[in-house]
Structure 1
Amino acid sequence: MFDKLTQKISDAFRFVSGKSSITEKNIDDAVEAIKMALLEADVNLRVVRRFVNATIEEAKGEKVLRSVDPGQQFIKIVHDKMVSFLGDARQDLVLKGPDTISAILMLGLQGSGKTTSSAKMALRLKKEGRKPLLIACDLVRPAAVEQLSVLAHQIDVPVYKEEGATDSVKVYKGALDWARKNLIDTLIIDTTGRLQIDEPMMQELSRLKEVSNPDELLLVADAMTGQSAVDIAKAFDEKIGLTGVVLTKFDSDTRGGAALSLKTITGKPLKFVGVGEKPEDFEPFHPDRIAGRILGMGDVVSLVEKAQEVIDQKDAQELQKKMEKETFTLEDWLDQLRSVKKMGSLNKMLEMIPGMAGQVSEEDIDKAELQTQEAILSSMTRKERANHLMIGPSRRARVARGSGTSVAEVSRLLKKFDKMKTMMKKMSKMSKNPNTAQAMMNRMQGGFR
């Protein structure tokens, strides 16, 4: 999402980076470049002015100008200001305990992704141990109830709906009775939306708010609408009252103005972001991590958390043992390929690695090669994946036919696997014997001279 902004801010840091001393002119040049980058990213003008003034005021102090490493000190100030404008710290949902029913009112205009976000929220809460119920109260948009039902089935979460209903308050009351009987602890109410804010919609939402007394009132806004998302948030907050915002299409190539403006202009925290189309593509918003991504510092913590979601710790330990005992097989390799796919876009993962944002494009990643490897491995029998040495010429020909590849590609994969096992063997020895590791480093250094 922030590729262009990250690149431009990185360029701005060149005015101050690597210098043993910097002047006020260096700071002015860097801040001016950052200002232009923010304006091009569609950040609200008031937010840009506040950001620039706050940064200049602190950066021109003695702490930076006389610092041992003024460039790094300046970058830290920009980072801290960015975090402050994004919302300081992560704001989680404020819900009651599991013995009492909590309610979340999902608000937003038609097309913002409200129904999809409701289902994503339900899945997230389910994983956290809560028992959510989706309530179909969008009785205006055609097929909204059916869409929520399909999504609920996908994530195995109950949905309450009433065929032919015309009153959302009546639907909510029926859902509340059902929830009490079925030990539900969290109600997620998908409300009606319009193409634009109007009085009938606001009146209906006010009635729903009054009867449900929600713990959270979350506006679902589309990141691609830019500054319009900020204006919509202000209008909903004035009429209904908000506790937070969910920003959808956060993985799109939008410029990022909405994310950087919402908290400062509305005073409401960004709580979650939608980062894809799948039900699990829904993440808490961490201001410090997002600031790190914008400034090209990466987001290693989110990357590790994403890996932990798809890779079981016990499985990881088993894999480590196999690598140490040299019993790693093609079956294990196939499992790893599938785990990487579950983590999502490779491009998004690279953005979380410090210094990689904007450096590698989607085109640079050879997805076809990964798909070919998976196809070849999937075309082998379990016995063949357990013992790749048994895959002779006739078996290679069969695997090639089954995977739609050539015998040469199958042979190349097996050769690659042998090299991988050799490397794992060396790494295992290095981890056990520091002297071996040092000797290997010496040989490598000798080779570079």
Structure 2
Amino acid sequence: MVHRQALTTGMTGMTALAVACAVAFAAAPAATAGSSPGESRADCPRLSTKLKWYGDNRERLQRMIDEQGTCSGKSARSGPSGQGREQGDGQRPVAAFDWDNTVVKNDVSDATLAWMLRHDKVLQPRSWKSTDKWLTDDTHRALTRACGTSVPAGRPLPTSTDTGCTDEILDVYLDEETSDGKAAFAGEWNHRRTVPGYVWLTQLFAGHSPAALTGFAREARKEALAAPVGSEQKVGTHTMAGYVRYYEQQRDLISTLRKAGFDVWIVSASAEPIVRAWTPGAGIPGNRVIGVRNVVEDGRLTTGVQGCGDVKDDTGGDVLTYMDGKRCWLNKVVYGIEGAEAFRLQDPAHRIAFGAGDAETDVTFVDDATAGHLAVNRNKTELMCRAYDNADRRWLVNPMFIEPDPKQKTPYPCATEGYMNTDGVAGPMRRADGSVVPDQKDRVF
């Protein structure tokens, strides 16, 4: 998912081993002709030297892999990870990646919704108001007016031809407003755990089976991979990205991490059945994917959302795989941590070794990593404030690998608006010791 901006608290409780790894990751020298870190170990899995990374990022990533993986002499087992049950085995170092705009360019949820709207796959709800608890009365009326009531509940809306209905749905989702400019969502929510628009998108898939939604995503995938880089598509009267591409550098990084014994996971704010249509192309098995998980009844997705931590299922989406919710879901699924404790920063032995993301949705889990953090620069304030501050000396920043944004965002207002509070009000970003992160210049773009 791609539409917003925010971040989390600093890291605490590092062990001496984590500190040593941090120094190694931060201090890795740039490669010189004929040499690179770890080259003396011919059996160490190597990142491709044919794929371009910014600066010395590849060499620093390689050093982290060598320090943490099978070449470290630690207990990490060799061979590809992720062949067993969903929960992590506790023996391998864990790497976690966001999906949209981190492993691929563009958003697979947007691509799937666009395909569904063009193929009449969105089903008429019982009432629009019933789809989401934050949906306003104005939005209910606007959607009812635009999409009509002649189609029975549970039957497909004719969105391929009904431009007014399609446009209203996209206005609510993309702009969080009705077509006449009224707020689409209202009420209170924890802004570090959920976004009503993200919840509502998953609720648009209600009535289909998870397998059917994965099938729609596969069809959208075919179109998006075949479309030229930079292309756009018309959906209703809206213009949306028309293509998606895997980042070859990230596919290579994932492959190398798995060969080096890392347990590699995807944690995404997109609906999990959609992400599962894409992850095989990056070498990620289905039991290593965590996305938004809607409650399933009688084999079909409902508007209810599975909870995490002390948030129960079917509470309307109070926690998603979003910001602090991504930490919770990783703690729950990978480390088996339950209850409110799943929202808390864990000791280094129960935290990921490496995290990669591109936006506010990712900042908490990426910052939690004990050995390395990768920020793909999309000008998202909270993530980039944390990355450029680089308090633990383990952050890497890389421009987008395809169509990087040439615009600098300078300075990032870290000292005043760098951190999104739970009430949605931005405030100063602070380090683990309480000091305020100063505004940061955008240097890698």
TM over 0.5: no
Larger Rg: 1
The structure whose RCO (Cα within 8 Å, separation 6+) is larger is 2
TM-score, length-scaled by structure 2: 0.29
| Structure ranking higher in helix proportion | 1
